[in-house]
Structure 1
Amino acid sequence: MPELPEVETTRRRLLPLLLGERLLEVRHQDHLRYRHTERAAGRRIEGVERRGKFLLLPLSGGLELVLHLGMTGGFRLEPTPHTRARFLLEGRTLHFHDPRRFGRIWVVERGDYREIPLLLRLGPEPLSEAFAFPEFFRGLKESSRPLKALLLDQTLAAGVGNIYADEALFRAGLSPLRRGKEVGEEEARRLFQALREVLSEAVALGGSTLSDRTYRQPDGLPGGFQERHAVYGRAGLPCPRCGHPVERRVVAGRSTHFCPRCQG
């Protein structure tokens, strides 16, 4: 699933293509997944923003188009066999490509996210000044859930998903199975910093394109951060630090990769 780095990369690539453009129509045949899109017709796009894993497009007239890429969603400059929606602009068409059909689009009054409850409970952006260590540490200490589950919850840090939770925990030397309340202050500081480092590096490299090749940037180029994965998707391969085989467990319903020796 596209996470913060992939969605931020998509936002940056879309910004020069969309900002100030008039959106003539969002054309599709799925009114369950793509809701109220007729309200966007003829509106000018006033911004291309991101919140967690959501793209936010403020529109003229006080409306907002909210888009979640789901597991396999992304934009393409050309149509594909998996094009599910077309964004018709005055000078071009952008194609929303989504093989597994988990992507969603809403057009709402700006800031009214009652149809999208996850947006209402997102925590701070981990690459922003709002991401503060005291609140992060307090959130860990107040929970008996495993660290991996806490990072996926979106309330401690918005936009973190499976890939970057595993990579940050590895850099911090913390087991994904540790309970939040068991983590000391210095360990929490390592995790706090590791999250910022991993996400910053991944954004700079355009995110991660995995073996299924579903995530690509709008121009079709893959991301590059997958070349730096230390543990994610590497079950059975040697840990880059100690050589011990990377293990895979299921935590919070998600495949979780870690080195039991380095992340004791």
Structure 2
Amino acid sequence: MPELPEVETMRRGILPIIGCKIESVVCPRCERKPILLSPAIEEFDRRLRGKQVVGIGRRGKRVLVEVEEEQAIVIEPRMTGLVLLADPPTREHLRLQINLNSGPNQSVSHPKRQGGQLLFWDRRGLGTVRLLTHKEIREQIDIKLGTDALEITADGLRDRLRKSQRAIKVALLDQSAVAGVGNLYAAELLFRAGIDPRTRCDRLSGPQWKRIVCAMQHVLNEAILYEGSTLSDGTYRNAINGEGSYQAHHLVYDRAQTPCPRCEEGTIQRIVQAQRSTFFCPICQRKRGLHPTLASRR
């Protein structure tokens, strides 16, 4: 589930490890489905022992732990992964443990902080952890990603998608077009923009693209402020194993059959697009630019 706000919250949460040196990297005993770890743990540990953490970055939905010698630990949480400093939800799903010595930022206090570790926890084992050089990051990750959703302009998004015949909700999930937006926040931002999620990209007007990007950046920044969304399954947690609180501010996501909070005339509907649930109000999200086959079913 983690999307840009959750991953950005993870990134900010582990900033205190900047300046620490890595003592060892280990894979705790885990009988669950293994994650993708590259290179193998022995080489992972060898390349990082004694190296200092020099920065914490993000690429779309990935956290980058920058270390010396122009390399970074690239963590992609995917569905259920968490990047933590403390208190993993369970020990049985702990996938990677990076042991750290004291650094200049260790004086930064956290009420639940257990100094000296960076942890990757993943219940379903779909996440990935890779140690890559800066050159490999450019060649394997950056080249595949669109502009970050917090930085993209209306003209930039329009240039990437205006010829596409995909529904705008589906297109926003394409990380090569815009990096960081996932299913939850795509539904929320399109509601705020007043755009029907089934509208084809090639039928959107200039003002509509501006509304989409404005809503995108408002929703994502607001969600970061509330440290992301912890849904009913309780999986997502921040770096010190606390819940996000943006779920209390969702207007349409997972609110099917409830009154529209904006127009109060419509009822939030759930449809499936590209095998993902979409939530929207059929009254105040305009019925423009639909594919003819979809329009005929209305």
- CA-to-aligned-CA distance 1:38-57 (integer Å, 9 cap, x gap): 32232211110001001112
Unaligned ranges ≥5, structure 2: 103-115, 287-298
Are 1:202 and 2:223 an aligned pair? yes
Cα pair 2:7 2:63 within 8 Å, conserved: yes
Task: Measure the CA separation in 1 of the matches of 2:35 and 2:125.
Answer: 11
The match for 1:60 is: 68
Task: Measure the CA separation in 2 of the matches of 1:251 and 1:118.
Answer: 26
3-state SS of paired residue (1:154): coil
Match of 2:247 among 226, 232, 239: 226
Post-superposition offset of 1:90: 1.6
- CA-to-aligned-CA distance 1:191-238 (integer Å, 9 cap, x gap): 110001001101111111111110011112211111110111111222
3-state SS of paired residue (1:142): coil
Match of 1:140 among 150, 153, 161: 161
Post-superposition offset of 1:32: 6.0
Post-superposition offset of 1:119: 4.1
The match for 2:13 is: 13
Whichever residue aligns with residue 145 of structure 2, its letter is L
Cα pair 2:87 2:241 within 8 Å, conserved: no
Match of 1:95 among 98, 119, 141: 119
Q: For the pair shown, which has the larger CA radius of gyration, 1 or 2?
A: 2
TM-score normalised according to structure 2 size: 0.82
Match of 1:127 among 146, 150, 159: 150
Match of 1:252 among 269, 274, 291: 274
Unaligned ranges ≥5, structure 1: none
RMSD in angstroms over aligned alpha carbons? Answer: 1.8
The match for 1:69 is: 77
Cα pair 2:6 2:228 within 8 Å, conserved: yes
Post-superposition offset of 1:181: 0.4
TM-score normalised according to structure 1 size: 0.92
Post-superposition offset of 1:253: 2.0
The match for 2:170 is: 149
Whichever residue aligns with residue 55 of structure 2, its letter is G
Cα pair 2:270 2:279 within 8 Å, conserved: yes
Count of aligned pairs: 260
Report the more deviating stretch, 132-141 or 163-172: 132-141
Percent of aligned pairs sharing the same letter: 39
